[in-house]
Every structure is written in structure tokens, then in C-alpha cells.
């Protein structure tokens, strides 16, 4: 199978290495900023020849970002070439369009590495939904935020210090906003929910709050009450056909498997009507874990896969008003709403609210943050 590779960074280099050790895959050209850095003289500075080459069966996109990734992937699908991508931003933003392009041109579109890194989450979600009714999905889908929270729980050091450590280790980008503000996990949840529930919700429909303002004092308070904080994504079906979709810091007791997930690992679960709960644990990012799932997608295409994970994309409304959760809130801002919804006070300074919807809580957070930008809140499960 002949392959055109778009991108030769951390993941692209890993894909190149793994394919070089396979008798089934031949990467014939690699689009990158420094073509001379690619072994065998396969580097190119322009993708036009690659996309026009009828001998190339698959385009692998690991360059990241929306542009020019969108334009190149669209051209590949229109040319009837299969596409494998690890780009969750691209798949999430252009979900319906890319899915339709692949179907119209008889091309496979696979993105297993986009959600869960090296975890075979999307392929197992695909298998489950073929013969079962998926009721909900949930989990830790971002290794950077989990590394930060896990380190703070074990070392009780300030957030800024742990973030700097994550950046030195390569877990976090120079601009860590996508990870710590929940944007990365929001995209992964949207893709997962769309496949699980045969819908096409945009990422903006996922109610999202991150961990930027968590403090060591918060973590100490959580531990004193037997809780561990994780940035959790969750989505599920509701009657009569709507779904909920929320990303927010969540306090979990020791009996939750997610509470013990270490370092930059991920744990993603689903519950089917027949199979019950299944969970998938592993490396959520990194050169070889992510490249591994890219190559697994290539193997699936080589073995005859010619489709996306679902062929349905019906409209479903996202309704987060029907959920009810208690919340931990630590703020110096006076709030009549918070006072009227406080169920108990913690000695360390935070309060626990009575059960409210995530919509109501997130709106209250936004209002209180105008007076107290350092506010932190987390759902309590």
C-alpha cells in the first residue's frame, strides 16, 4: 500500500518509523517544512504531486491544525484516496462535511488516534454500537491535564509549577490553553458522542470548564474529604432523543477507577444496554502510542475497511439542563445565588452546592469570575 504522509513532526516521524518496519506500507512522499530531513529523499515541500499521484492509496494527515489540513484532506477524499488522520481539531470542526465526502467518494476516513492516542477507543466504540445500544460515554481524555492533577494530588505543589514541568517534559505546549481549558477534551468528546449516538454535534455544544484556576489548597481540601479531582468528559442519551455533553473538573471517591489513573494516561468508558460498562486504559498521547493507532488504521484499510465509524448523522439537541450535580466552589466573590444554593461549608474554605444543572452552575461561575478570576469549581460525583 502506497502512502502519502502530511507532516513529519513528533507523530509523523513515528508513523514513518513504524511503516518503514512493515512490509505492507510504502511511504512514497512526505510533506514537511524541511524536506531534506526525511530519509530516502522522500520529503516534498508541496502536496500537489502527492495528491495527483494515482498510485498513492492513502493520505495520512498528522500535521495538525485546521489549515491547510482541511484543504489537503478534502482534496484527497475527492480524489477517492483513503484518509487516516490524528487531527481531532480537523475531524471535530468539519465532522459532517468530511464524513459526507468520504461516503460520496467511496473512501475510508479513519481517525482512531485523534481520541485516546494509543487507546483503541474509537474502533471499539464502533464495534460496540454495531450490535448494542450505547447509553453513555465518559472518561479522562487528556493526558496533560491528568498529569497536572495527578502530580498536584501526590506532591501538593502549585498549579503553575506543575504546568511548567509538563511543558519541560513535552506533555504541554508552550500555549497550554487547549489542554488546561478543556478544549482538547471537548473535541474528543464531541467526536466520540457523534459516533456513539449517530449525531453531529459541534464542539461548541459541549459545556466546558477547565482546570486553569485550581490551587494546591483546593487539592488539599479534596484529599481531606476523600476525593480526587479529574478533568472528566461525559455524554449520554436522554429521552426523548436529546443528549447531554459536559467537560468539567470532577471530584471522585476512591472507588472510582478514574480516580487512580496516573500521569498522562487516559481512561475512557462506555455503557451499552447489553454489554454493560467497558473501559479502555492506556497512553493518551505521545509519538509512538499515537503513531501506533495511525498504523492500525492503515492495517484496517489494507484489510478492506472502506467507511467511517458510523454512516448515520441525525440531528440531536444537546440539553444539559436535565442533569443534576452538586458542586464544590471556592471563591472570594459574594454571590446571592451561591448563598441560596449552598448545602454545606468545608473548613478549608470551599462550599458544596445543592444539586443544580451544569448549565446553571456554569452560568454562575461565569458571573462570579467577573469579581474573582481565581475562582475554582468542580462537580462532585
Tell me whether residue 188 is one of the annotated catalytic residues.
Answer: yes
Distances (CA, A) of 308 to 68, 170, 301: 22, 31, 11
Q: CB-based burial of residue 191 (10 Å sphere; 0-12 exposed, 13-18 middle, 19+ buried)?
A: buried
Contact call for residues 294 and 84 (beta carbons, < 8 A): yes
Residues 19, 12: Cα–Cα separation, whole Å: 11
At 85, list the grid cell.
488522520
Q: Where are the beta strands (DSSP E) in the chain?
A: 2-6, 26-31, 43-44, 58-61, 82-85, 109-110, 134-140, 207-208, 227-238, 242-253, 265-272, 276-283, 326-330, 342-345, 351-353, 376-380
Question: If DSSP codes are grouped into helix, strand and coil, which group holds residue 281?
Answer: strand
Catalytic residue chosen out of the listed positions 88, 188, 230, 371: 188
Contact call for residues 95 and 120 (beta carbons, < 8 A): no
Report the helix count and the strand count for the chain, using DSSP H and E. 14, 16
In which residue are the cell numbers 447489553 written? 274
Question: If DSSP codes are grouped into helix, strand and coil, which group holds residue 117?
Answer: coil
Contact call for residues 143 and 115 (beta carbons, < 8 A): no
Please give the positions annotated as active site.
188
Amino acid at each position: 500500500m502506497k502512502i502519502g504522509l502530511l507532516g513529519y513532526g513528533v507523530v509523523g516521524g513515528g508513523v514513518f518509523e513504524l511503516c518503514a518496519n512493515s512490509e505492507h506500507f510504502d511511504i512514497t512522499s512526505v510533506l514537511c517544512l524541511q524536506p531534506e530531513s526525511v530519509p530516502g529523499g522522500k520529503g516534498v515541500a508541496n502536496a500537489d504531486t502527492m495528491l495527483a499521484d494515482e498510485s498513492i492509496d492513502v493520505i495520512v494527515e498528522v500535521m495538525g491544525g485546521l489549515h491547510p489540513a482541511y484543504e489537503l484532506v478534502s482534496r484527497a477524499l475527492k480524489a477517492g484516496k483513503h484518509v487516516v488522520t490524528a487531527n481531532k481539531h480537523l475531524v471535530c470542526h468539519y465532522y459532517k462535511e468530511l464524513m459526507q465526502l468520504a461516503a460520496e467518494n467511496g473512501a475510508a476516513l479513519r481517525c482512531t488516534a485523534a481520541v485516546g492516542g494509543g487507546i483503541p477507543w474509537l474502533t471499539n466504540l464502533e464495534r460496540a454500537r454495531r450490535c448494542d445500544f450505547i447509553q453513555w460515554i465518559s472518561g479522562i481524555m487528556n493526558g496533560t491535564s491528568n498529569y497536572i492533577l495527578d502530580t498536584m494530588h501526590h506532591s501538593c505543589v502549585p498549579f503553575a509549577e506543575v504546568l511548567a514541568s509538563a511543558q519541560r517534559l513535552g506533555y504541554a505546549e508552550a500555549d497550554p490553553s487547549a489542554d488546561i481549558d478543556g478544549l482538547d477534551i471537548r473535541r474528543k468528546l464531541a467526536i466520540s458522542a457523534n459516533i456513539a449516538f449517530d449525531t453531529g454535534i459541534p464542539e461548541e455544544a459541549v459545556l466546558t470548564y477547565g482546570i486553569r484556576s485550581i490551587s494546591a489548597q483546593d487539592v488539599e481540601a479534596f484529599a481531606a474529604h476523600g476525593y480526587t479531582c479529574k478533568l472528566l468528559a461525559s455524554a449520554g442519551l436522554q429521552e426523548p432523543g436529546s443528549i447531554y455533553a459536559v467537560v468539567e473538573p470532577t471530584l471522585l471517591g476512591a472507588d472510582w477507577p478514574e480516580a487512580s489513573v496516573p500521569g498522562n494516561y487516559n481512561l475512557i468508558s462506555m455503557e451499552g444496554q447489553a454489554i454493560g460498562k467497558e473501559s479502555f486504559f492506556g497512553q493518551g498521547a505521545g509519538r509512538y502510542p499515537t503513531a501506533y493507532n495511525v498504523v492500525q488504521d492503515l492495517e484496517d484499510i489494507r484489510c478492506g475497511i472502506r467507511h467511517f465509524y458510523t454512516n448515520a448523522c441525525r440531528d440531536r439537541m444537546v440539553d444539559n439542563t436535565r442533569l443534576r450535580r452538586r458542586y464544590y466552589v471556592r471563591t472570594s466573590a459574594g454571590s446571592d445565588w451561591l448563598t441560596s444554593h449552598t448545602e454545606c461549608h468545608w473548613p478549608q474554605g470551599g462550599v458544596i452546592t445543592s444539586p443544580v444543572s451544569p448549565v446553571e452552575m456554569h452560568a454562575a461561575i461565569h458571573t462570579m469570575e467577573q469579581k474573582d478570576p481565581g475562582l475554582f469549581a468542580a462537580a462532585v460525583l
